[in-house]
Amino acid sequence: MTEDPSTKPVKTQILKALHSSASDGDLQTVSRLINGIADVNGVDDHGWTALMLAARNGRDKVIKLLLDKGCDYTLMNPAGQTALAIADFWHHPAVSHLINQHAQQGSSSADNNNIINFFGLSILDRFSHKRTEKEWLKQKRMDQASTFVLFSQSSPYVTWSDSSSCRVCRFQYNQLQFLLEKPEGDQPTLIFLGVGKIPVLESEPSPSDSTSSTTTTSSATTTSPATTTSDSDDPAWFALDVADIPEDTIKGIAPSAELLSPKNYLALMSLADNEAGVIGQARALFSWHDRYKFCPTCGSSMRIEEAGYKHVCENKECRSLKGVHNTCYPRVDPVTIMAVIHPDGNQLLLGRKKQFPRNMYSCLAGFMEPGETIEDAVRREVHEESGVKVGHVTYHSSQPWPMPSTLMIGCFGYAVSTEITVDTQELEDARWFARRDIVAALQTGRGTGDTRSGSSEGPKLLLPFKQAIAHQLVKAWVGMTANL
Ligand SMILES: [Zn+2]
């Protein structure tokens, strides 16, 4: 399904109307247009968004409305200016204050404008209360409306839409009956993922179709997970492990199906954003089954229950069968990842590991330890890896990272010291990068130079790909910092 070309001039006109009303501070018209079909992050011929135009003209009421409706304050015009930079340049302190406040609030804003990173947007309601209802699950399994996604070695079968992006290959019961109806004990692992809560169309725009892979959900968006409800009649989704089935057999069922390379996890970044969450959920569970084959308490063999979400020890005497034990359930490993801001507010601390591509620097990160708060983990990791001391810590957003089952907790750390001592066991290098270098790297994929040498001939900065939360943290910092 492609977009009807006849609607394009209408959309262009609406966008023009949005831009001129944002410039003029016409709150009523802006409100009417963004509740219709206007693209709140659409740009004009000069690469300016409605938010930038309102910032240029000091329209604080319009700014507030646009931010509330999910306008992306981290977007830059071709000159590398964000809305905040524009407001500062033209001396509109009320506007600067609003954007700053919005940026600082991050995910704590009251109107559910939570930031959703890659792997974080789920099109399913997990329906966890149904995992123990065997009869309901059986009916759903045999329902022709149900969707099955196939995995081998924790990697999904996909269909390529072009050379760089793919969609999950979806199967129905009648195509897989020979596997699903095998005798008990011989059946491949089947995981119940949930029921569809969002109608997914092939032409549905993905968040990364815009300049950002991070999107904000708002009450105005039909894809907002917070505003949709599902019921048990909605189509169910299952993930099936077909590691024992030859690829040719799968291709015999669906000729366009291809297994995404299990050895190259970066291939997962080619997934459509609106399916990445489902695949991340299934991948983390399959990885758990794959790595935890014996009871962690007594070493006996285990069986899978609760539609793929629980391991039960076969040893009737096992301690894990008495009371609730976290060894029975899938694990999630929290990692803090942080953009550390220089005391002057105009530089960011980034580091690189030896195995990174040449000139790539990223946010520092590390696993949390037992008995530690998120804030303390941020301070400890930054100090251990770079010698820099961090004071205040704020939360930005999180990202499930199914390699195999990490939860990245994205934060900003405000440095209270600046001297760097690199822990060479962990990092090859860490340094402060000026905002202008980061802006250049975001715009072109390359920075302008090494800030330490002060020379534009220094190494060029390369940032992580946009699907990584590190990229989104850096981008958010640029959006909340106006100094140029
Ligand atoms: Zn046991």
Distance from the CA of 267 to the center of ligand 1, in angstroms? 36
Distance from the CA of 325 to the center of ligand 1, in angstroms? 11
Question: For residue 155, which of 57, 19, 73, 270 has the smallest C-alpha distance?
Answer: 270
DSSP 206: P
- Give the model confidence (pLDDT) of 337-356 as tens digits: 999 999 999 999 999 999 99
- Residue 263 has a pLDDT of 82
Distance from the CA of 292 to the center of ligand 1, in angstroms? 12
Quote the tokens at residue 144. 């022709």
Torsion angle of the four alpha carbons 139, 142, 147, 148, in this order, in degrees rounded to the nearest 10: 110
Distance from the CA of 294 to the center of ligand 1, in angstroms? 8
Distance from the CA of 328 to the center of ligand 1, in angstroms? 10
- 3-state SS class at 52: helix
Distance from the CA of 183 to the center of ligand 1, in angstroms? 26
- Give the model confidence (pLDDT) of 355-404 as tens digits: 999 999 999 999 999 999 999 999 999 999 999 999 999 999 999 999 99
CA atoms within 13 A on the CB side of 44: 16
Assign domain 5-113 to its CATH architecture: Alpha Horseshoe (1.25)
Distance from the CA of 314 to the center of ligand 1, in angstroms? 7
Average pLDDT across the chain, whole number: 86
Distance CA 326, CA 415 (A): 36
Distance from the CA of 81 to the center of ligand 1, in angstroms? 59
Mean pLDDT to the nearest integer, 453-473: 77
- Residue 201 has a pLDDT of 43
- Residue 79 has a pLDDT of 87
Residues facing 241 on adjacent strands: 151
Whether 110 shows a pLDDT value over 60: the answer reads no
Domain at 333-480, CATH homologous superfamily: Nucleoside Triphosphate Pyrophosphohydrolase (3.90.79.10)
- Residue 106 has a pLDDT of 58
- Give the model confidence (pLDDT) of 60-108 as tens digits: 999 999 988 888 898 999 888 899 999 988 999 999 989 888 887 654 4
Residue entry with tokens 């319009």? 62
Q: Is the CB of residue 149 less than 8 Å from the CB of residue 240?
A: yes
- Residue 352 has a pLDDT of 97
- Give the model confidence (pLDDT) of 270-306 as tens digits: 998 889 999 999 999 999 999 999 999 999 999 999 9
**Domains of the chain by residue range:** 5-113, 124-291, 333-480
Distance from the CA of 352 to the center of ligand 1, in angstroms? 42
- Residue 7 has a pLDDT of 64
Crossing angle between the packed helical segments 469-480 and 435-444, to the nearest 10 degrees: 130
Distance from the CA of 286 to the center of ligand 1, in angstroms? 20
Whether 463 shows a pLDDT value over 70: the answer reads yes
Q: Is the CB of residue 17 less than 8 Å from the CB of residue 36?
A: no
- Residue 101 has a pLDDT of 83
**Whole-number percent of the chain with pLDDT over 90:** 65
- Residue 13 has a pLDDT of 87
Mean pLDDT to the nearest integer, 101-124: 72
Distance from the CA of 269 to the center of ligand 1, in angstroms? 37
Please, which residues have CB within 8 angstroms of residue 266's CB and are 6 or more apart in sequence?
A: none
- Residue 239 has a pLDDT of 98
Distance from the CA of 66 to the center of ligand 1, in angstroms? 55
Distance from the CA of 407 to the center of ligand 1, in angstroms? 27
- Residue 262 has a pLDDT of 82
